[in-house]
Every structure is written in C-alpha cells, then in structure tokens.
Amino acid sequence: MNSPSAGIEARAGASGGKLAEEVARRRTFAVISHPDAGKSTLTEALALHAKVISEAGAIHGKAGRKSTVSDWMEMEKARGISVSSTALQFEYGDCVINLVDTPGHSDFSEDTYRVLTAVDAAVMLIDAAKGLEPQTLKLFQVARDRGIPVITVINKWDRPGRAPLELLDEILDRIGLTPTPLFLPVGIAGDFRGLLRRGPAESEGAPAEYIHFTRTAGGATIAPEEHYTPEQAADQEGEAWTTAAEESELLSAAGQDHDQELFLAGQTSPVIYASAMLNFGVRQILETLIELAPPPGPRADLAGTPRVPADPFSAVVFKVQAGMDAAHRDRLAFMRIVSGEFERGMVVTHAQTGRPFATKYALTVFGRDRTTVDTAYPGDIVGLVNATALAPGHTLFSDKKVEFPPIPSFAPEHFATLRARTADKYKQFRKAIDQLDSEGVVQVLRNDTRGDASPVLAAVGPMQFEVVTARMLTEFNVETHLDFLPYQLARRTDATSAPELARQRGVEVFTRTDGAMLALFGDKWRLQYIQKEMPALTLEPLVATAD
C-alpha cells in the first residue's frame, strides 16, 4: 500500500511543527449505511480494538448483545436502532481517531448528512446477504458529492450471504465506484475462517498472507489472530484458500488493485470483508483507515477560499444535542475543528452573530461519556456545553473572519401538530419544543392562526415525530398528543406572496424558526394548479431532500 504520509504537510499547509504533527496523526470519519448493516456494532468493535472499552455489548449483556456505546438514547436501546449520530474519540497506536456513528434510517438522514459535512472519510457498510441497499446508495452519493473518500466494509460475513465478487460487481455496476479489495474472505459467507491479505498491485494478485481468526464467546472480546504464509494457508484451508487466491488474481487482472490517488479522488474504494459482531477484520479496518484515509485537509469557506489546518482557529458546528446526561440537562454543540490549535478557555468569534464566544466548557465525547478537553486540533470533534447561540452550520473562528458555507436543511414531507395533553405542563412543553427545535430534531413552524400551544412540526420522516414524543416524556416529563396534518410538501415563499397563498384552499403559510416562510400543500397537483393560476407568487423548492 502507498503511504499517505507524503503530502500530509502540504495538505496541512505547514512546514512542520507540533500542529502539523497533530494533524498528520488524526483521522476523522463517519460510518454510513442502510439501517441494520452493523454500523453501531462496528463502532463498538473499533473502540474495543483501541482498548477503550473492554467488552463489546457488555452494557446490557443479558440476551447476548443489546445496546452499543453509541446507541445510548432510551429509544435506541429499546428498538436496537440508531436515531441520532454519536461521536467517539479515542487513540489507537499513535493516531487519534474521531469516529461518528450515524443513523441509517432515512427519517434521520438529515443528521447523517450534517455529519458528512464534518468528516474527511466514510466507512460504508454493506450487509453481505443484502448487498447494496437504497439508503446506502443515497449516502454514497452524498459522500461523492462532498468529495469524501469511501472505504467499503462488507459486513456480516459470519452469516450466509452472497459470493464475494458478485457483491463487488454490484458496487461497480450500480454506483460506478471501482472496488479494490485489500482483504478477501477465506471461506464462503457463513463459514468465515479468516482473511487473505492481497499483495501490492505489482504482485498481480498474489496473496501476501493469511490471517486466521478464532471466535470468542459472543464476540465480546478481540478475536485472536494467527498469521500464515500462502503455502501454510493452502495446506490448512484447502479449497477455501485456493478460491480466495484465484479471486485475488481475477481482481488484479481486472485492474482492481488499490491505488491511493484514485481512492482519494473518489474513484475507487478499498474493500474489507468483516464480521463486526465476531470482531473479524476489525483491526484491519482500523489499520486501513490509519494507513489510507486522509488526515484533515483544507476546507473551502463561503467565498471558496481554502482554509488550511495551519490557519488560525476555525471550526464548524455540525450537530446540537441535548438530553445526553439526565443529571445535567445540558445541551452540547459539536464542532469539528477545521484549522488552528484550540485551547479551552480561548475566546473565539461566532461568525453568524459576530459576538465573542467563551469556550470554557469544552469536552471530548465518547458516546454519552465526556471529559474536559484542554487542547484540540484540526479534525477533532469537540462538544461545547450550553452553547445556546450555536446551530448546525455555524462557524467559530479566531483572528480574521471566516465563515463556512451553511448546511442546507432538508425539505420536510411530513407535518403534524403537537400539544401537551394537560394544560399544567404548558411551560415545560414550550421549553422542550424550543430545545428540540434548536437541535434540529424536527423543524418547528408557527403562524398566528394556530398559535403557540400547538405548533406544527415538520419532518423528513415520521420517525422524527416519535423521537420528539419520546424525548418530551423522558426528558421533560410532558405527555403529548400528535395530530398528523394532510400536507405533503413545502415551498419557500416570502412576505409579499404569503397573504395571497394563505387565502387559497388547502394551503397554509408558516414561519420557520430560522425565519424562512414556508407554504404547505396537500399534494403536488394543488401546488401545480396554484403555480399555474398565480405565476407571480414566490414558491421555491427547498434545497435538499432525503431522496
């Protein structure tokens, strides 16, 4: 494999020194995929390999594995799905890893999308039995649009699934990304014995070695590895080995060998077969990330000028989350440092308001656990406590002003009113709505006709409403009632067009918390009719959608 270290200093824009060194040893990436491919399980397995946790799935180990370090919300534990992205920072060898586990469900794709604005690489999981699934395809497109290189993990190889090369063909055919496996599975899906490590491109597919894994009870601990030469492997594994070796040659004949430049350019993707549950291939994933994924590099500001890591401090906020700690009830704004050294206590400027911002309470997070952080570097994800002014997409900087492009909000397609079941809880209800609104859990829409007691919630997917009602109850002790509204789409309008629109049957106009005016329509025919009858009215599509 080529080493990515050449060019690190050039990327960092520095000629050496502490900052350049710190930047060079950081890797910041997201784990993405369709629901259930094993992102949270892999996240946990990676933490296990870095020895930051001692056992996977140990927290609720009763019926085997239950919740993972990254699924800490009540709803996540109860359902076994991720509803919110979770950041973990840990060291592995000389490296500092900033890892974000994302929710796979499309209803939460806005959260995943925000995370993808904050990372330098993505690990894309594919379920060995299911192959490419719709949400994986969409997320891959987002990664590609953002120029984020992708490492592919074909997961769940411990269970019956498809043939290894068939899965690769699907990636090539359906997303036009050339898969270049670094490791191939020895043993068919369901009979996972180990990995064949492929040699460099020059070796024309000749295997470099065989890594045999041994299962541990429930996959709770690191799977022991034994390393063998190809000859030993052939003796030991027989046909399972020869098949893998032949596949490696076939891939080389087709030109599917790793090429660092093409990978960084988003044209190829290194592939590793793994079982996150059994911890097979997990160390190889971690080491591939360290060896191949790019360290933090420049980021373009609003004017398109690159901000390089060696520039004075700057950071983007990509997520706001409250309710992580019932005892403190605080709200964390997560920023990804783009440039400069961060020191806790430094006073920076909030680009959106021009106001100074004190960073006295800065934390590194590990799931819901947190520790005070004193210094941090480009690539790091840092939580700022009770930073009420900060919202996703905001910029913090020191020295000369810089502002990064805003993160577009998704077009909502589901609408409902929400009210407290009993009037005595109104005050908490208002507080909770403001809180969830500022986190971007849902969008909150208001107009004078409906008033404040039952605001309209707008979501990309209906599961977001479930998160709202569940958190209302667990964090604010408010029972709520939800009524779905018969609207399906929203268009951005303005104060001039609003009164005329509001008079139309089946149309309602609202102001979103960020000040945008939205007109809601029952269906696209109603919208088209109004556009045709009154072409002068402002009705613009919202920027991004979940599809």
**Residue 103 near ligand GTP by CB under 6 A:** yes
The yes or no reply on residue 164 touching ligand GTP (CB under 6 A) is: no
Structure tokens at 144: 């590609």
Residue 212 is a binding residue for Mg ion (CB under 5 A): no
Dump strand ranges (E) for 282-354. Answer: 299-300, 306-307, 314-322, 331-339, 342-343, 347-350
Answer yes or no: are the C-beta atoms of 317 and 334 closer than 8 Å.
Answer: yes
Cβ proximity to ligand GTP: between 67 and 256 the closer is 67
Q: CB nearer to Mg ion: give 113 or 487.
A: 113
- Decide: is 41 part of the binding site for ligand GTP (CB under 6 A): yes
* Site for Mg ion, residues 30 to 69, rule: CB under 5 A: 39-40
Q: Closest-CB residue for ligand GTP?
A: 104
Output 80 or 306, the one with its CB closest to ligand GTP. Answer: 80
Instruction: Answer yes or no: is 103 a known binding residue.
Output: yes
Q: Which is nearer to ligand GTP, 81 or 485 (CB)?
A: 81
Q: Which of 9, 13, 29, 38: binder of ligand GTP (CB under 6 A)? A: 38
Please give the Cα distance from 188 to 161 (Å, whole number): 8
Nearer to ligand GTP, 81 or 172 (CB): 81
Annotated binding residue 105: yes
Q: Which is closer to Mg ion, CB of 11 or CB of 39?
A: 39
Which of these segments, 32-40, 347-355, 366-374, 507-515, binds ligand GTP (CB under 6 A)? 32-40
> Structure tokens of 332?
């964390």
What does the alpha-carbon distance between residue 390 and residue 393 come to, in Å, rounded to a whole number? 9
258 is in an annotated binding site: no
| Site map (CB under 6 A) of ligand GTP, residues 276-315, x = contact | xx--------------------------------------
What x/- string results for residues 68 through 97 when contact with ligand GTP is judged by CB under 6 A? ------------xxx---------------
Q: Does 35 bind ligand GTP (CB under 6 A)?
A: yes
Confirm whether residue 207 is marked as ligand binding.
no
Among 28, 275, 339, 398, binds ligand GTP (CB under 6 A): 275
Least separation in angstroms between CB 45 and Mg ion: 12
Q: CA nearest 219: which of 273, 271, 282?
A: 282
Residues 6+ apart with CB under 8 A from 200: 1, 257, 258
Alpha carbon 64 to its chain's center: 26
CB-based burial label for 48 (10 Å; 0-12, 13-18, 19+): buried
Q: Helices (H), strands (E): how many in the chain?
A: 15, 31
Q: Is the dihedral of CA 379, 381, 382, 385 positive or negative?
A: positive
Among residues 82, 178, 438, 454, the one that binds Mg ion under rule CB under 5 A: 82
In angstroms, what is the minimal distance from the CB of 63 to Mg ion? Answer: 18
Cα gap 142→139, rounded to integer Å: 5
Identify which of residues 31 and 175 has a Cβ nearer to ligand GTP in the complex. Answer: 31
Q: Which is nearer to ligand GTP, 37 or 315 (CB)?
A: 37
Inter-residue contact 340 to 311 (CB < 8 Å)? yes
Q: Tokens for 445?
A: 């829409």
In the numeric block, the tokens 């997320």 are attached to 139
Kindly state the DSSP code that residue 412 receives in the 8-state scheme. Answer: P
Decide if 198 contacts 164 (C-beta within 8 A).
no
With CB under 5 to 8 Å by kind, the binding choice for 37 among ligand GTP, Mg ion, none is: ligand GTP
Q: Mark residue 277 as left, alpha or beta (left: phi above 0; alpha: psi -120 to 50; beta: remaining).
A: alpha
Kindly give the residue spans of alpha helices, DSSP state H, lying in 50-104. 74-79
The correct pick among 23, 87, 89, 104 for binding ligand GTP (CB under 6 A) is 104
Roughly what angle, to the nearest 10 degrees, separates helices 109-116 and 134-145? 30
Write phi, then psi, for 437 (nearest 5 degrees).
Answer: -65, -45
Closest approach of Cβ 42 to ligand GTP, in Å? 7
Per rule CB under 6 A, count of chain residues that contact ligand GTP: 22
The structure tokens listed for 495 are 């104060």
110 binds ligand GTP per the rule CB under 6 A: no
Which residue ranges are tagged as binding site for GTP? 101-105
Interacting residues with Mg ion (CB under 5 A): 39-40, 82
Q: Which spans of this chain sit near ligand GTP (rule: CB under 6 A)?
A: 33, 35-41, 65, 80-82, 103-105, 155-156, 158-159, 275-277
Annotated binding site: 101-105
